[in-house]
Chains A and B, each alone.
Chain A
Amino acid sequence: MSFEWPWQYNFPPFFTLQPNVDTRQKQLAAWCSLALSYCRHHKLYTLDVMEAQESPVFNHKNIDRKLSTDAILIVFEELRKKGNLEWLDKNKTRCLVMWRRPEEWGKLIYQWVSKNGMANTVFTLYELANGDDTESEEFHGLEDWMLIRSLQALQMDGKAEVITMDDGKGVKFF
């Protein structure tokens, strides 16, 4: 299934940061949703600003428009404010993109667990993310850091407990 671009993607002004405040808000909102859905479609968890600049999201070759680095940073900052992005370094060159926030992932995992009646079972992280049982689930292939964060979010709610095992980490659901 190929990625479906929003209508804005073919609209040249989309790639110029709008000076009008109202217009800019709408523009940024569109950018945020585009960036997130693109990452989701391609299962991207980390982004490099320099690389992002060249990626088709921010560089539309067909209409010869690209979003400037400054504008990309503004979009990323907007995503950060919404809790969908975290910077990996102070210079803001790399970031984690969370097209689902940890709590949302946690919820998904927990739903799967309760649906299959596997509460009070212990899983290794590898089993959860890469095991055969979860192949059809959305969280299949979730990166470790993200998985841990989602489980930690569950732990906060008292629905799971992350435990350290001999060869890595495991989790027990309640």
Chain B
Amino acid sequence: MDRFTWSNGLLEMNETLVIQQRGVKLYDGEDKAKLDVGIALLSTHQLIWRDLKNNECCIAIPLSQIIYFEEQAAGIGKSAKIVIHLHSAPANKEPGPYQQSKFSYIKLSFKEHGQIEFYRRLTEELSQKRWESTPMSQPIPTATDSQTGRTRAVGIVGIERKIEERRKETDKNISEAFEDLSKLMVKAKEMVELSRSIANKIKDKQGDITEDETIRFKSYLLSMGIANPVTRETHGSGTHYHLQLAKQLGDMLLAPLEERGGMMVLTEVYCLVNRARGMELLSPEDLVNACKMFESLKLPLRLRIFDSGVMVVQLQSHSEEEMISSALDNVTDKGSLTAEEFAKMLGLSVLLSKERLLLAEKMGHLCRDDSVEGLRFYPNLFNSQA
């Protein structure tokens, strides 16, 4: 009960009344308060209690003081209650009806019911925390304040101090939250070191290790990948970052691209790159932007956007004519092909093989047969035989 302060019962400018309930009696912990039955008012900022008969007798408590609250069901001869647990009172608290209390919680006893609605609204307010978004204007210091001679942060200074405090709090929270992550980062570097030493060992002991093991090691290495990734921290932001990133991508993508027949879907690139980077993950946006730089950097890679919107990274040597003619050759060879069959033949993804077939169709080299058996592509006999 010692958390309450005397109040004039008026709401501040940006404070709004949420609900009020008659017939509420206050308990100081387990003891009945020395106050009569009154009205409990819930605003966006505070919980107010006013004596029913004596309007001058009005006390309030800011909602920010509430730690949590719970319901206590009614019993025989007992009204339903809401138990509210409170933070300890701040040192510079204004005076209230109680100077001290051995309890750190109060109870609202609802003689005339309404506790369910009150409880619901209280839950809402505490989850929305509207008192934070629209802080109450500081009450004008009254004569009683100066009499007690306490220093209180007033006006802009007060607001600034409050903001500063809140900022420190957030800072602390964030650094706590990310502590684990930075530990993980340190470990990641160790892992990279480890992968390097493994790689060297593999080189030294070639022949001693079975092929199966080598493949497994290789896949581990791939997951650990780049020892010193280009990050926003090391290379700033914006274009420069993307330029450097593009260079790095150029180096690391060449080999996988050649393996896959010169073309990879951007999503595949994204997965591969981020797996190789381990911790310093790339955003899809950064990847796209970096890929757009390939051309201006004269790297042997190109970002290509198909008509369907599918984006791929391809080797520059991997020209369109070649793609089309290879598609045509393959289709002519087999008589007809579906995208799936073509994908199997080239070891490409189905998406990409389909793009190639569509491209060849667009250029008039292939035509399609769309039936219940699926979409098949044929050499365009309409053009060649007519």
Instruction: Give the B-binding residues of A (Cβ under 8 A).
Output: 7-8, 11-13, 15-16, 18-20, 22-23, 26-27, 29-30, 64-65
Interface size on B, residues (CB 8 A): 17
* Residues B382 and A30 in contact, CB atoms below 8 Å apart: yes
Chain A residue at minimum C-beta to C-beta distance from B363 = A20
Other A-B pairs, 6, CB within 8 Å; known A11-B381, A13-B376, A30-B382: A8-B381, A12-B378, A13-B369, A20-B364, A20-B367, A23-B382
Shortest beta-carbon distance, A98 to chain B, in Å? 24
- In the A-B complex, the 3 residue pairs with the smallest Cβ-Cβ separation, listed nearest first, are A12-B369, A26-B382, A13-B369
Give A29 to B382 CA distance when docked, in angstroms. Answer: 10
**In the assembled complex, which residues on chain A have CB atoms less than 8 Å from the CB atom of B370?**
16
Shortest beta-carbon distance, A116 to chain B, in Å? 40
Task: Summarize B's interface: helix, strand, loop or mixed.
Answer: mixed
Give A23 to B380 CA distance when docked, in angstroms. Answer: 8
Partner of B368, one of A13, A22, A30: A13
Is residue B386 within 8 Å, beta carbon to beta carbon, of the partner chain? yes
Is residue B51 within 8 Å, beta carbon to beta carbon, of the partner chain? no
Is residue B55 within 8 Å, beta carbon to beta carbon, of the partner chain? no
Is residue B228 within 8 Å, beta carbon to beta carbon, of the partner chain? no
Contact pattern, B 129-166, Cβ under 8 Å of A = 1, otherwise 0: 00000000000000000000000000000000000000
Is residue B319 within 8 Å, beta carbon to beta carbon, of the partner chain? no
**In the assembled complex, which residues on chain B have CB atoms less than 8 Å from the CB atom of A7?**
381, 385
* Residues A23 and B369 in contact, CB atoms below 8 Å apart: no
Partner of A11, one of B361, B371, B378, B383: B378
Chain A residue at minimum C-beta to C-beta distance from B358 = A19
Partner of A23, one of B336, B367, B376, B385: B367
A sample of 7 inter-chain contacts (CB < 8 A) reads: A7-B381, A7-B385, A8-B381, A8-B382, A16-B369, A23-B380, A27-B382
Is residue B362 within 8 Å, beta carbon to beta carbon, of the partner chain? yes
* Residues B371 and A26 in contact, CB atoms below 8 Å apart: no
**In the assembled complex, which residues on chain B have CB atoms less than 8 Å from the CB atom of A29?**
386
**In the assembled complex, which residues on chain B have CB atoms less than 8 Å from the CB atom of A65?**
369, 371
**In the assembled complex, which residues on chain B have CB atoms less than 8 Å from the CB atom of A12?**
336, 369, 371, 376, 378
Interface residues of B in 336-384 (CB under 8 A from A): 336, 361-362, 364, 367-371, 376, 378, 380-383
Instruction: Give the A-binding residues of B (Cβ under 8 A).
Output: 336, 361-362, 364, 367-371, 376, 378, 380-383, 385-386
Shortest beta-carbon distance, A164 to chain B, in Å? 48
**In the assembled complex, which residues on chain A have CB atoms less than 8 Å from the CB atom of B382?**
8, 13, 18, 23, 26-27, 30
**In the assembled complex, which residues on chain B have CB atoms less than 8 Å from the CB atom of A22?**
364, 383
Give A64 to B373 CA distance when docked, in angstroms. Answer: 10
Shortest beta-carbon distance, A43 to chain B, in Å? 27
* Residues A13 and B386 in contact, CB atoms below 8 Å apart: no
A23-B380, A23-B383 known; A64 vs B371 contact (CB < 8 Å): yes
Shortest beta-carbon distance, A29 to chain B, in Å? 8
Give A167 to B125 CA distance when docked, in angstroms. Answer: 98
Shortest beta-carbon distance, B267 to chain A, in Å? 26
A7-B385, A12-B376, A23-B382 known; A18 vs B371 contact (CB < 8 Å): no
Tell me which of A13, A22, A65 has the highest count of chain B C-beta atoms within 10 A of its own C-beta: A13
Shortest beta-carbon distance, A23 to chain B, in Å? 5
* Residues B364 and A30 in contact, CB atoms below 8 Å apart: no
* Residues A26 and B369 in contact, CB atoms below 8 Å apart: no
A12-B336, A27-B382, A30-B386 known; A19 vs B361 contact (CB < 8 Å): yes
**In the assembled complex, which residues on chain A have CB atoms less than 8 Å from the CB atom of B368?**
13, 16, 18-19
* Residues A16 and B385 in contact, CB atoms below 8 Å apart: no
Chain A residue at minimum C-beta to C-beta distance from B378 = A13
Chain B residue at minimum C-beta to C-beta distance from A22 = B364
Give A152 to B382 CA distance when docked, in angstroms. Answer: 39
A12-B376, A13-B378 known; A20 vs B386 contact (CB < 8 Å): no
Give A64 to B374 CA distance when docked, in angstroms. Answer: 13
Give A6 to B4 CA distance when docked, in angstroms. Answer: 98
Give A13 to B381 CA distance when docked, in angstroms. Answer: 9
Chain A residue at minimum C-beta to C-beta distance from B385 = A7
Give A29 to B381 CA distance when docked, in angstroms. Answer: 14
Give A15 to B371 CA distance when docked, in angstroms. Answer: 9
Chain B residue at minimum C-beta to C-beta distance from A66 = B371
Give A29 to B386 CA distance when docked, in angstroms. Answer: 10
**In the assembled complex, which residues on chain A have CB atoms less than 8 Å from the CB atom of B386?**
26, 29-30
* Residues B378 and A23 in contact, CB atoms below 8 Å apart: no
Chain A residue at minimum C-beta to C-beta distance from B371 = A65
Give A23 to B382 CA distance when docked, in angstroms. Answer: 6
A20-B361, A20-B362, A23-B380 known; A13 vs B367 contact (CB < 8 Å): yes
**In the assembled complex, which residues on chain B have CB atoms less than 8 Å from the CB atom of A13?**
367-369, 376, 378, 381-382
A11-B378, A12-B378, A23-B380 known; A18 vs B385 contact (CB < 8 Å): no
Chain B residue at minimum C-beta to C-beta distance from A17 = B370
Give A20 to B357 CA distance when docked, in angstroms. Answer: 13
Tell me which of B336, B367, B369, B370 has the highest count of chain A C-beta atoms within 10 A of its own C-beta: B367
Chain A residue at minimum C-beta to C-beta distance from B373 = A64
